Chain A
Amino acid sequence: MSKRKELEAKLIARLRDDVVCVEKTDPRTIFIDVKRAGIREASKIITTAGARYLCSVGYDNIERDGTLGMIHTFALDDSDQFVCCRTSAPVGDPVIESITPDLPSAGWSEREVTDLLGLRFAGHPKPKKLVLADDWPDGIYPLRKDVPHNFVPKGAEDVAYELDEAPPGTKIVPVGPFHPSLHEPEHFAVYVDGETIKGCDYRGFMTHRGIEKLCTTQISYNEVPFIAERICGICGSVHATAFSQAVESAAGLIIPRRAEFIRTMMLEFERIHSNLLWLGVAGHLIGFDTVFMQAWRVREQIMWLCERLTGNRKTYGMILVGGVRRDITPEIADDIRRVMKNIEDDLTIIHRAIEKDTSIHKRTKGVGTITKQQALDWSLVGPVARARGVDIDARRDHPYAAYDEMKFEVPVLDSCDVWATLVIRVVETFEAIKIVRQCLDKMPGGEFFVEMKDKIPAQRHAITVVEAPRGESVHYVITGEDNRPERWRVRAPTFPNLQAVPLMLLDEQFGDFPIIMGSIDPCFSCTDRVAVVDLQTGQSSSITKAELDALSRRAQSPSHSLQTMLRG
């Protein structure tokens, strides 16, 4: 029995009339519509059927039928399918049962929808603000269609995020909003007992740029890839490709094979440079700047290559809906081969020089451990998950572009620590070089862009995943009128991974905070959404903003111990 039939049978057996329909049109995506009473049950049935939770998408349907829509998306990794479970709630009574108690990683997605669309979730364990600024006025939901994209509400004074209460017997060390070990503004409150981390609360989304809103109100389909690319400074092509694929899939547009090969190559270039970048940053975070210098030196070659190829070091601007913008000429192909060879040689030297270095081992082995089960529960993705024995890789499980023709290994380790992440990212760089070579060898001729003659029908839904260097990115597109998407949801890999950071930090040394944080290769700009971890609910004195300010000032002067500050 196919997965679709199996799911349908189970859902109908358990939920009966609550199942509205199970769409049969798209072989890869199973769209299930349920009434809102059955949503939690439905998501339970879907996860027990072996699906992995991806993210949730909220959308404004008020003009059409007076409802707010909600979609929970899942992936069936062994059968290369996606499950999108849709429901809706009338705007007058916007409450849906939360699925977070069953799936902790849905926590942020739901909070985000609450912030941006005003849909509330009954039974959510932590219904706090996530995305919006603390002084954002109540009752204005920026993703609703009636709020203009350039709306500027009046700010308010003296509203601050209420941090979680510290577990008993711990002190708070604030890290951020600006901190040398974070490359972007984020605020962590780390609860420590002596040097040992006992928990942490996170307030981020300070770099939320409203990209999704902008792209659904201002620009048209083929400009979105350029903005999508700017979601992240590192994995730009990933987002542009994911968006383009989603639109192509919604429009039923088949792009030329050559374009798919070029896309694959761009994605692998990005993986190489990103992994080298990360390797350097990881070295830097543990105080090993030689690795930083050398990894970045090697990386520079790929930046220059991309400049020659695409016209820019980063934000390549190569991907369009319908194909790619520039072709690979024979001269540039030779250039690529040469650069790949150099990078391979140089990286081998670095790899040999550091693989047995005891000082790196001491700083990374056994650090940031969480178990495979926890990694699964929190739906971790990418190298962070693969370092914990979770064997997932969107390139292999849900092949897109030309990955179905590529041969590559997916390294999986089970030592569950930062060291494993490091090894995986180095191995993946070598794999990426292999893939680039295969692309060059097998690349078919022909066109690299295709025209789309008919308008894209509105109200089509499509989901795609693309494996970014740091994990899988999920894009969900609902097509709209006016030559632009009506809703576009981006879930960057840091979104699930960051939610599990508090767990990784638990019982680690405070000095390891930067490398643990760094090990997920956090990209706050692309995530910008944050949550805190519920460790245990304990009674303790909460601290006020003034105290926290004072605390952070004291924290910098070693003569005052934190303890004296928080006593009483």
Chain B
Amino acid sequence: MWLTSKIKQILMVMKPGVVTLDYPNERPPVPENLRGQPVFDHQKCIGCGGCSDHCPARCILVRDVCQELRVMLYDGGRCTYCGRCADICPEKAITMSNSFEIACDQKEDITTRMELFMMTCQRCGRCYEMEKTNAIDRINLKGFRYDNLEQRALIRKTSETFDPALLKESDNYQRPSDK
């Protein structure tokens, strides 16, 4: 039995031959709907912050530096390429491109930063008509937000009107520790 098994094994190995691709010299086509690096379109973005609310990796940060200026920062270093942000965006401002060879030694190379001029709703601070009707997808953080872009930390605190004190506080954000 041992010998017949070995013969069968030799045939099993011979038939397919070498299957390893000579990457990167040989590059097979990238599948059409690959979820690669997300690309942000600042023309379309309305700054609703929905993508940031729903990013499982919490790597899209929003910081309102004053009443009119909202800075959004996408930190590709932590992105999991799940495509959730692209699903959520009401304006289709995010597309999952098919570029995947994005290893780099500068964090900034895979960071996207957008500065958006914002208007404020007179009635409720900053409100958006949420296109999402699904109760389990509803966007939860509304109004003004104060993530710490330096430390790339999402701070789950918002206010209805712009609050310089909160902005200041988030400048010194530190992870809680027992000493």
Contact = CB atoms under 8 A, between A and B. Distances in A.
**A and B bound?**
yes
A148 B176 CA distance: 7
B82 interface: yes
Nearest to A453: B135
Contacts of A220: 53-54, 136-138, 140
A61 interface: no
Interface residues of A, number: 53
A322 to B, nearest CB: 7
Contacts of B19: 297, 300
A151 B2 contact: no
The 9 residue pairs across chains A and B that have the minimum distance between CB atoms: A311-B35, A353-B8, A357-B5, A226-B56, A223-B56, A221-B136, A451-B134, A152-B177, A308-B31
A222 B54 contact: yes
A64 interface: no
Main secondary structure of the interface of A (DSSP, over half): loop
Interface stretch (B9-17, B107-115, B119-127): B9-17
Contact of A312 (B12, B81, B136, B156): B81
Among B19, B54, B58, B137, residue most surrounded by chain A Cβ atoms (within 10 Å): B137
A30 B145 CA distance: 44
Given A220-B54, A226-B82, A226-B84, A482 B135 contact: no
A564 interface: no
Nearest to B55: A223
Contacts of B136: 220-222, 247, 251, 321-322, 452, 456, 483
A567 interface: no
Main secondary structure of the interface of B (DSSP, over half): loop
Interface in B1-37: 1-2, 4-6, 8-9, 11-13, 15-16, 19, 31-35
26 contacts: A148-B176, A153-B178, A219-B54, A220-B136, A220-B138, A223-B55, A224-B56, A230-B80, A247-B136, A294-B12, A307-B34, A312-B34, A312-B81, A317-B82, A325-B87, A326-B33, A349-B11, A352-B8, A353-B11, A357-B1, A357-B5, A454-B135, A455-B135, A456-B135, A483-B136, A483-B140
Contact of A356 (B4, B53, B81, B133): B4
Contacts of A542: none
A326 B83 CA distance: 12
A227 interface: yes
A354 interface: yes
Given A222-B84, A307-B34, 7 more contacts: A153-B177, A154-B178, A222-B134, A227-B56, A290-B9, A294-B12, A353-B11
B12 A349 contact: yes
A311 B96 contact: yes
B80 A315 contact: yes
Interface in B80-117: 80-84, 87, 96
Contacts of B154: 218
A311 B83 contact: yes
A559 interface: no
Contacts of B137: 220-222
Nearest to B58: A218
Interface in A246-273: 247, 251
Given A353-B8, A483-B140, A451 B133 contact: yes
A565 interface: no
Nearest to A223: B56
A218 B55 CA distance: 10
A553 to B, nearest CB: 34
Interface string A226-240: 110010000000000
Contacts, number: 128
A152 B176 contact: yes
A353 B12 contact: yes
Interface residues of B, number: 44
Contact of A151 (B4, B8, B96, B177): B177
Interface string A339-368: 000000000011011101111000000000
Contact of A226 (B33, B80, B133, B135): B80
A49 interface: no
Given A219-B56, A294-B12, A353-B9, A317 B83 contact: yes
B178 A137 contact: yes
Contacts of B138: 220, 483
Interface string A294-331: 10010010000001101110010100011001100000
Contacts of B179: 154
B9 A354 contact: yes
Contacts of B175: 150-152
Contacts of A322: 134, 136
A140 interface: yes
A315 B82 CA distance: 8
Nearest to A353: B8
A223 B34 contact: no
A209 to B, nearest CB: 13
A356 B2 CA distance: 7
A482 B140 contact: yes
Contacts of A315: 80, 82
Contacts of A224: 56
Contacts of B9: 290, 353-354, 357
B56 to A, nearest CB: 4
Contacts of B31: 307-308, 311
Contact of B156 (A218, A326, A353, A456): A218
A536 B35 CA distance: 53
Contacts of B32: 308
Interface in A479-493: 482-483
B177 A357 contact: no
Contacts of B87: 325
Contacts of A150: 175-176
A229 to B, nearest CB: 8
Contacts of A219: 54, 56, 58
